[in-house]
Structure 1
Amino acid sequence: MHRTEVVITGLGAITPLGRDVESTWSALLAGESGIRGGVLPSHQDTGLPDIVAGTMAIDPAELLLPVQARRLDRSQQAALVAAAEAWADAGTPRVDADRLASVIGTGIGGVRTLLKEHDVLETAGKRRVSPRTVPMLMPNAAAALISIEYGARAGAYTPVSACSSGAEAIALGARLIRAGEAEVVIAGGTEAAITPITVAGFVQAQALSRYSVEPASASRPFAADRTGFVLSEGAAVVVLESAEHATARGAHVHAVLAGVGIAADAHHITAPAADGSGQISAMRKALAQARLAPENISHINAHATGTPVGDVAEAHAIREVFGRATVTAPKAALGHLFGAAGAIEALMAVLSVKHGVIPPTRNLTTAGVDPDIDLDLVADRRDAPQEAVLSNSFGFGGQNVSLIIASARNHALHRPC
């Protein structure tokens, strides 16, 4: 009796660090930052300050046909761009449409369209509101559009679980394959929600970074002087396949999705459980599914947004499961992509095991590391074999997802149950 293994054969992304996977990965390894200033002008009527944020390195509309781009919200544009790269990278798989699914997570969907068209209604009346408003704002549109683009009839799913949406989409894709409902899944996350209202909400919640020395220094996971996260946008998509399907078509396998763990805190709508129970459970479930021990994990890609409370809570949960583990935090360079965060960081974990390198965590040197964070933090790039990487994504609502990405070189693709 054998378990269906899930492999990753395609990668696609558009992020604050780059227009695609290669440029994003190169910039991350080089220690560059995708955080920019002056993203939203100050507004005297609202009291909003100038902020720093991680806008996409290129307008996704420039990578689509003009007529197509005009009909899509920015979040949908980003998802289609990332999916096209991932599908091409996977070698444009030939698969029965009824065995192909689309799973794209998002935190909020087409909020830019919603706000824009509401302004049109208020200033110009209902006749000026776009007839495409609803399909451009609905959260499931990215998954639906990708389903239409690639003829995916096994289902189009949209996990909406705040910061864990992208990781949950990948986890759901793996479940569909292991349940025999699909052989190939286009999975990932997308977000484009840098708007005055979202900024105002996070400012009022005291969640955004207040570090103002320079934009590139604003996102400071685990640093002693961290004050909050930096809002970012973008999309990341992977192509998942059953190992049997990938082998049969001679696909190039980047890595193996060895284990997934999902758990809920059932505690508070924004704050993590003080004892870390939900995060600990997600990590242990992922290890159990992968049939790996904590010592088999080469490093951990932390959720680590840069909030004072959240980083400490995650560090304590990691130490409970792994001890003083080796940890990196890509949000220091990328910012927090919310619905896309878990997907882009899973993609970074894939490249880590494929190339044998741990990306650096920016901004750990100016004021030092929080003494409550007793982990082996990677401040500078490390080149070493990475047999398996655990990637964490923890969302508002206490929704926790952990993914384990294992090397395709040494991970058995057909293990006994």
Structure 2
Amino acid sequence: MRRVVITGAGTINALGHDVASTLEAMREGRCGIGRLDIRDVDRLAVKIGGQVTGYDEHAHFNRQQISLYDRFTQFTLLAADQALAQAGLSFSGALSDRSGVVLGTSGGGLNTQDENYRAVYEDGKNRVHPFIVPKLMNNAAASHVSMQHNLRGPSFTVATACASSNHAMGQAFAMIRGGMADVMITGGSESMLCFGGVKAWEGLRVMSKDACRPFSATRNGMVQGEGAGVFVFEEYDHARARGADILAEVAGFAMTSDASDIVTPSKQGAGRAIAGALHDAKLNAWDVGYINAHGTGTAANDKTECAAVADVFGAHADDLMISSTKSMHGHLIGGTGAVELLACLMALRDGVIAPTIGYEEPDPECALDVVPNIARDAKVTATLSNAFAFGGLNAVIALRSI
């Protein structure tokens, strides 16, 4: 099977509007979570989130584009432009036909839905903009990326809640490895920090009102975030032939279903996904130095994930570093795995392990090295990125240095 590498990365999230600023914030252990600046925030019980601040859509898009691009699509397009600029790729002819887009999102154009439900049901309007459907559809971002960059190969969107990005990147990886494509633009995005989006999550009673503290005994829930992470996945020989700067190799991927509960995670399901990614990548447990955890800051996720890691890695679990960057940028739901993959790239390329900030008190059920509060210098050659979604859908990606 063909090898797959990453040749470009782009992002916009609560920590920064590009990769460099995001990684700098991760190194500093900076928190991007703050009070939400959205309509009717005072009607919410949860008033905090990892919101993208300092962002003006008019600085990037004209009025016609804004009428077509929901906020999640805007974030995707900006991140994709960054990734492709770094990769140094443009698409025409045969390469266009052999290149595509697979992106993950959970809510799609939720801001657009929220605004238009309000207009119809609260304001009593009887008409909406004729492009509301193409603006809010989950595949809008993937479609606009394909059109903007002339990508005529396989293009679609994956929606598997909090595992959407990892599932999308796994499919892109499989397509290149299996010979269906030479280049895939992949990752994910989310923007559901609107009144309806936050109110829906409030109903689950898993949200923190003050901070995200994964693995800490004092944790009290998750915090939503927003943004996008987009990568260029490329066939290894294709990248080498054009002299591309290779950021890392996508070594393996696995996905499993718990088949047990719609919201409660399963140690067995998570463990099978982790073990499957190691097997697919032909990695031994001791090869992996860092895991970017799903690490939501909820009691159910954190203890289940730590137990799954301990089961799979056995004695080596004590030597692993595992951190949750959700403590800094929040939980981007369908886009979260994509932004978190940046921490894996930083570990492999820069030898810096992103910390779990907000850590206050050890939890005996999370007795792993969670890199508390302060980033750490360490040499690692292989990493995993975990994503475990409502519905019992698990997806784990393995990267290694090259």
**TM-score interval w.r.t. the shorter chain?**
over 0.9
Q: C-alpha separation between the residues in 2 aligned to 1:112 and 1:355?
A: 36
Is 1:25–2:18 an aligned residue pair? no
Q: After the TM superposition, which residues 173-252 of structure 1 pair with which residues of structure 2 at under 5 Å, given as runs?
A: 173-210=172-209, 212=210, 218-252=211-245
Is 1:302–2:302 an aligned residue pair? no
Q: C-alpha separation between the residues in 1 aligned to 2:29 and 2:104?
A: 28
Equivalent position SS for 2:48: coil
Task: Give the corresponding residue for 2:353.
Answer: 358
Is 1:288–2:283 an aligned residue pair? no
Q: C-alpha separation between the residues in 2 aligned to 1:158 and 1:261?
A: 18
Q: Which one of the candidate residues 391, 397, 400 is aligned to 1:403?
A: 397
Contact 1:19/1:57 (<8 A) preserved = no
Contact 2:45/2:202 (<8 A) preserved = no
Structure 1 residues 190-199 or 257-266, which shifts more? 190-199
Task: Give the corresponding residue for 2:152.
Answer: 153
Paired AA for residue 32 in structure 1: R
Task: List 4+ stretches of structure 1 deviating above 4 A.
Answer: 40-44
Task: Give the corresponding residue for 1:58.
Answer: 54
Q: C-alpha separation between the residues in 2 aligned to 1:74 and 1:311?
A: 30
Contact 1:184/1:241 (<8 A) preserved = yes
Paired AA for residue 16 in structure 1: A
Task: Give the corresponding residue for 1:327.
Answer: 322
Percent identical residues: 37
Paired AA for residue 136 in structure 1: K
Q: C-alpha separation between the residues in 1 aligned to 2:236 and 2:90?
A: 13
Q: Which one of the candidate residues 68, 71, 84 is aligned to 2:68?
A: 71
CA distances 1:184-229 after superposition (whole Å, capped 9, x unpaired): 000010000012222222222111013x3xxxxx010001111110
TM-aligned CA distance change 1:38 to 1:179, over 3 Å = closer
Equivalent position SS for 1:23: helix
Task: Give the corresponding residue for 1:92.
Answer: 89
Equivalent position SS for 2:216: coil
Q: C-alpha separation between the residues in 1 aligned to 2:107 and 2:154?
A: 20
Q: After the TM superposition, which residues 330-349 of structure 1 pair with which residues of structure 2 at under 5 Å, given as runs?
A: 330-349=325-344
- Deviation at residue 49 of structure 1 after TM alignment: 2.5
Equivalent position SS for 1:158: strand
Q: C-alpha separation between the residues in 2 aligned to 1:204 and 1:267?
A: 22
Contact 2:67/2:131 (<8 A) preserved = no
Paired AA for residue 18 in structure 1: G
Q: Which one of the candidate residues 375, 380, 387 is aligned to 1:386?
A: 380
Contact 1:37/1:50 (<8 A) preserved = no
TM-aligned CA distance change 1:406 to 1:148, over 3 Å = same
- Deviation at residue 92 of structure 1 after TM alignment: 2.1
Task: Give the corresponding residue for 2:307.
Answer: 316
- Deviation at residue 63 of structure 1 after TM alignment: 4.7
Is 1:142–2:141 an aligned residue pair? yes
Paired AA for residue 66 in structure 1: N
Equivalent position SS for 2:295: coil
TM-aligned CA distance change 1:321 to 1:337, over 3 Å = same
CA distances 1:332-362 after superposition (whole Å, capped 9, x unpaired): 1111011110111112211210111111110
Structure 1 residues 197-206 or 129-138, which shifts more? 197-206
Gaps of 5+ in 1: 213-217, 409-417
Q: C-alpha separation between the residues in 2 aligned to 1:70 and 1:32?
A: 34
Equivalent position SS for 2:7: strand
Equivalent position SS for 1:187: strand
Alignment TM-score, normalising by the size of structure 2: 0.94
Q: C-alpha separation between the residues in 2 aligned to 1:179 and 1:313?
A: 33
TM-aligned CA distance change 1:43 to 1:328, over 3 Å = closer
Task: Give the corresponding residue for 2:32.
Answer: 34
Q: C-alpha separation between the residues in 1 aligned to 2:192 and 2:206?
A: 15
Structure 1 residues 57-66 or 93-102, which shifts more? 57-66
Contact 2:323/2:371 (<8 A) preserved = yes
- Deviation at residue 266 of structure 1 after TM alignment: 0.7
Equivalent position SS for 1:318: helix
Task: Give the corresponding residue for 2:14.
Answer: 16
Contact 1:6/1:241 (<8 A) preserved = yes
CA distances 1:145-193 after superposition (whole Å, capped 9, x unpaired): 1111111111211110000111111111001101211000000100000
Q: C-alpha separation between the residues in 2 aligned to 1:124 and 1:164?
A: 37
Equivalent position SS for 2:101: strand
- Deviation at residue 303 of structure 1 after TM alignment: 0.4
Is 1:271–2:264 an aligned residue pair? yes
TM-aligned CA distance change 1:354 to 1:191, over 3 Å = same
Task: Give the corresponding residue for 1:415.
Answer: none
Task: Give the corresponding residue for 1:411.
Answer: none
RMSD value over aligned CA atoms?
A: 1.5
Alignment TM-score, normalising by the size of structure 1: 0.91
Contact 1:36/1:53 (<8 A) preserved = yes
Equivalent position SS for 1:241: strand
Equivalent position SS for 1:237: strand
Q: C-alpha separation between the residues in 2 aligned to 1:60 and 1:207?
A: 31
Contact 2:91/2:149 (<8 A) preserved = no
Task: Give the corresponding residue for 2:78.
Answer: 81
